[in-house]
Each structure stands twice: as structure tokens, then as C-alpha cells.
Amino acid sequence: MLAGQGPGRAAVDATKAGARPAMELVVYEHPDCTYCQVFRARIAPRYAKSGHAAEAPLRFVDIAGAAPSGIVLRSPIAEVPTTVLVKGGREVDRIPGYWAPDNFFKMVDYLIGRAE
């Protein structure tokens, strides 16, 4: 699957509908990344139904394309997928690599709790 296709698509489209939210989870991925595809299949649909989806929606960014405007990262993205919690256009923290869903959601709870 390429970026923007397949499972997790609804999570991507949610951020395009209106103004940018105060916080968002930006998932940096690559079209050839197997773990990025697994993230979209196993994590993105569950995240879209979670309580955090409204306060920090998912947005996918293809690292092979142009860098998104309005996001200031602390350091370059070194691996994919990397999930970055962004608040007010600045990186709060990141989750590098693919993690099983239960661990991913624990880390997201922690990051969003720190950012609030």
C-alpha cells in the first residue's frame, strides 16, 4: 500500500476537513516500508476510534515527498514509521519505529498527558 491508501485512510482525511488541531500525531512513513503498512492496518483504525483521536488526530506524511510546512522537528526523522506528537506546530516528543498496538497506545497516553 502507498501512503494515503488502504486501512487508516479515514484517520488521514480527518485532518484535511478543517483547521489544524492544537495537537496532532504525525506519522512519518515511506511507501516501501512494511512496518508502515502494518501500522496503517493494526494501529490507525484503532486510534481513529480512541478517545485521543479527537484531541490529536493522525496525519500521515510520506518522507519521500516534500516536508510538511508548519511543523518544527527537534531532529531529522531517522526511521519509519516514526510518530511525532505535535503541539502548536512544534514536536513535543516522538515514538520511533513500529510498536505493537498495546505498547503504542500506552506511549501515546504518556505523550499526550505530558503535552496537556
Reference 25, options 37, 41, 39; nearest CA is 39
DSSP 8-state assignment for residue 15? T
Pair 112, 56: CB distance under 8 Å: yes
Q: What are phi and psi of 41, to 5 degrees?
A: -80, -40
Fold classification of 20-111 (topology level)? Glutaredoxin (3.40.30)
Q: What are phi and psi of 13, to 5 degrees?
A: -65, -25
59 - beta bridge partners? 26
| pLDDT higher than 80, residue 2 | no
Reference 109, options 51, 67, 65; nearest CA is 51
pLDDT digits (tens, 9 = 90+) for 29-64: 999 999 999 999 999 999 999 999 999 999 999 999
pLDDT digits (tens, 9 = 90+) for 54-102: 999 999 999 999 888 889 999 999 999 999 999 999 999 999 999 999 9
- The structure's pTM equals 0.82
